[in-house]
């Protein structure tokens, strides 16, 4: 068992480890037990009753968090011609094509999200082995391969996140910062959980949401009672 620091051990005293909280309580306890000097991220992990090995049970989607994620998202757009100007006008941080791709081949990855117009994908695909492992490859399923680059950039800047269930059946993501407070975090968590529920595969049998844990970057995990899920997302 890894050795825990004094601050962590003090923070976990504020948590009833045998308790399963509702969403508001879990967020409040999580914020109260945060102790880092920096503005910690708030993360959520949801264990689903699906088997991702089967294509018809894959849970993957996107959601625009109402209050963003608490940091500036640097967006790169692969485009040419008029779409370059459209992307820049929408607030993209970097826009280009061949020259940008050469920079990436040289090890440049100073961006958080990438968007590409469909006519650029044949070229972008050539650096897919570089973008893919970092989660930066544009994808039609996440709305990042599109001719409507202005909309894509706006959504990413506003706090759009994409998520995908892991092999273990867990989906996890960041839903904001400690500084957001309970109300804004509750709104973000509600948008995320609501999307998860809407994406329930028809082939998924039995209990769909099996477990939920909320935590800050450095703090302990707070268990949410899944019995509150349906009422929470209404």
State the pLDDT at residue 220. 87
**Which of 157, 183, 210 is a domain's end point?**
157
CATH of the domain at 126: 3.40.50.790
State the pLDDT at residue 49. 94
What would the pLDDT profile of 164-187 be if each residue is shown by its tens digit?
999 999 999 999 999 999 999 999
Q: Do 185 and 153 share a domain, yes or no?
A: no
What would the pLDDT profile of 42-100 be if each residue is shown by its tens digit?
999 999 999 999 999 999 999 999 999 998 899 999 999 999 999 999 999 999 999 99
Q: How many domains does the chain have?
A: 2
**Which of 157, 179, 206 is a domain's end point?**
157
**Confidence band for 230, pLDDT divided at 50, 70 and 90:** confident
136-163: average pLDDT:
94
CATH of the domain at 178: 3.30.190.20
Q: Which domain holds residue 59?
A: 6-69+160-233
Using the predicted structure, report yes or no on whether residue 221 has a pLDDT greater than 60: yes
pTM confidence score:
0.84
9-31: average pLDDT:
80
SS3 string, the chain, reads CCCCCHHHHHHHCCCCCCCCECHHHHHHHHHHCCCCCCCCEEEEEEEECCCCCCHHHCCEEEEECCCCCCCCCCEEEECCCHHHHHHHHCCCCEEECHHHHHHHHCCCCCCCEEEECHHHHHHHHHHHHHHHHHCCCCCHHHCCECCCHHHHHHHHHHCEEEEECCCCCEEEEEEEEHHHHHHHHHHHHHHHHHHHHHCCCCCCCCCCEEEEEEEECCCCCEEECHHHHHHHHC
Domain presence at residue 1: no
What would the pLDDT profile of 98-116 be if each residue is shown by its tens digit?
999 999 999 999 999 999 9
């Amino acid at each position: 068992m890894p050795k825990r620091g004094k601050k962590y051990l003090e923070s976990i005293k504020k948590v009833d480890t045998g308790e399963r909280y509702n969403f508001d309580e879990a967020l409040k306890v999580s914020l109260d037990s945060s102790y880092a000097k920096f503005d910690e991220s708030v993360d959520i992990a949801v264990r689903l009753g699906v088997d991702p090995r089967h294509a018809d049970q894959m849970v993957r989607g996107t959601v625009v968090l109402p209050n963003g994620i608490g940091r500036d998202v640097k967006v790169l757009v692969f485009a040419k011609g008029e779409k370059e100007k459209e992307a820049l006008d929408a607030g993209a941080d970097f826009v280009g094509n061949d020259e940008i791709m050469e920079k990436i081949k040289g090890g440049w990855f100073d961006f958080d999200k990438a968007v590409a117009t469909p006519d650029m994908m044949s070229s972008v695909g050539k650096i897919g082995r570089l973008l893919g492992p970092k989660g930066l490859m544009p994808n039609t399923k996440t709305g990042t391969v599109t001719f409507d680059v202005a909309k894509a950039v706006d959504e990413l800047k506003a706090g759009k996140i994409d998520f995908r269930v892991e092999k273990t059946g867990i989906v996890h993501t960041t839903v904001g910062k400690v500084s957001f407070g309970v109300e804004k975090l509750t709104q973000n968590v509600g948008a995320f959980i609501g999307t998860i529920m809407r994406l329930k595969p028809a082939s998924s049998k039995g209990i769909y949401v099996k477990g939920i844990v909320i935590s800050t970057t450095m703090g302990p995990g707070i268990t949410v009672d899944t019995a509150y899920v349906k009422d929470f997302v209404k």
